[in-house]
Structure 1
């Protein structure tokens, strides 16, 4: 059994490999890798650096049994505890690649560095974050979002990743409760995702 599969979260399904750290494409140039993994000293004094490792006890993978849910018959990610506004939930792990190694059919590919055209794809390998659904058809608005973050990897180095964060409370404070225990964690995939999905289906 691969090391990555030796410790997986409850509810992990299918042949997808569970990752504890990003998996890098062999075609990614050393210059691009160096742009993602940098000395901690290069960050500003106020930069926030996270330490993180899975499985993540603050979330749980749940089968979707509600027939009206867009992901019916698939899975969702729920909060296993109260998650306050702006809190870091977990990283989005996957296969780190550039445009020379992109799976055009993947629904799990997020941008990691737009300038360098680097993405992270969780279609075949990832962590619990790959089960987060879009809010459309489930709720009136998302309660979480993807943000860039730096993770301490030891030896004075940090790694740029994408993380899932609870949305801020907002100026009106209407999101001050954050995400309650048992509540589904929902993001916005962006209108572009659904436009491309429709175009592919029509084709």
Structure 2
């Protein structure tokens, strides 16, 4: 059994902090097999990339105090040090599930299966620092990080956060594109 994860500073007490994926009961053995197969295919395509994973997180959670920021008063994720272009920053961790969670603002698609079933990672009730990444809209012209299918430290399929083509300076907020589908699903009718 792995030791408990150390909770980072400013972590909300109502959210379980974890640095490994947890699997919901909706993830059947067939789905786990498909995830393993996808991970093996991904491993073959990424063998030469040599992704180096940091032991210490290169990010910090901070409360946003800019009245012009769309998430003013909430938390965001910021670079704790200079981050080089096109580098792995952190994995998006939470509860892996196969059920529909359209109401969750922290649900990220992990795998769309051939039978139409979607596997997602939901960080609403448990997760890591990556759950605090905000959308770039209303803050900057373009995102400085992006989500990418990857393998975690144990070789399991996950979504990772990577820096874009430019250096991210220490203190910069990490901003991603949530995608048009995210915003469309939240538009008032």
Which interval holds the TM-score relative to the shorter structure? 0.7 to 0.9
> Is structure 2 residue 174 aligned with structure 1 residue 196?
no
- Measured after TM superposition, the shift of residue 52 of structure 1 is 5.0
How many angstroms apart in 1 are the aligned matches of 2:124 and 2:22? 12
> Is structure 2 residue 184 aligned with structure 1 residue 182?
no
TM-score (structure 2 length as normaliser): 0.87
Aligned to 2:9: 10
Deviation track 1:132-189 (CA, whole Å, cap 9, x = no partner) reads 0000011111000000001231xxxx2000000001x2xxxxx3xx111000000000
How many angstroms apart in 2 are the aligned matches of 1:186 and 1:46? 25
Aligned to 1:172: none
Cα distance, 1:30–1:41 mapped onto 2, change above 3 Å: closer
Cα distance, 1:114–1:49 mapped onto 2, change above 3 Å: farther
TM-score (structure 1 length as normaliser): 0.81
How many angstroms apart in 1 are the aligned matches of 2:158 and 2:53? 11
How many angstroms apart in 2 are the aligned matches of 1:79 and 1:136? 19
> Is structure 2 residue 157 aligned with structure 1 residue 160?
yes
Structure 1's unaligned 5+ residue stretches are 170-174
How big is the alpha-carbon RMSD for the aligned residues of Structure 1 and Structure 2?
A: 2.3
How many angstroms apart in 1 are the aligned matches of 2:152 and 2:51? 5
How many angstroms apart in 2 are the aligned matches of 1:94 and 1:164? 14
How many angstroms apart in 1 are the aligned matches of 2:44 and 2:76? 36
- Which of structure 1's runs of 4+ aligned residues deviate more than 6 A? 39-42
Structure 2's unaligned 5+ residue stretches are none
Check whether the contact 1:51–1:152 (CA below 8 A) recurs between aligned residues: no
Q: How many residues align?
A: 182
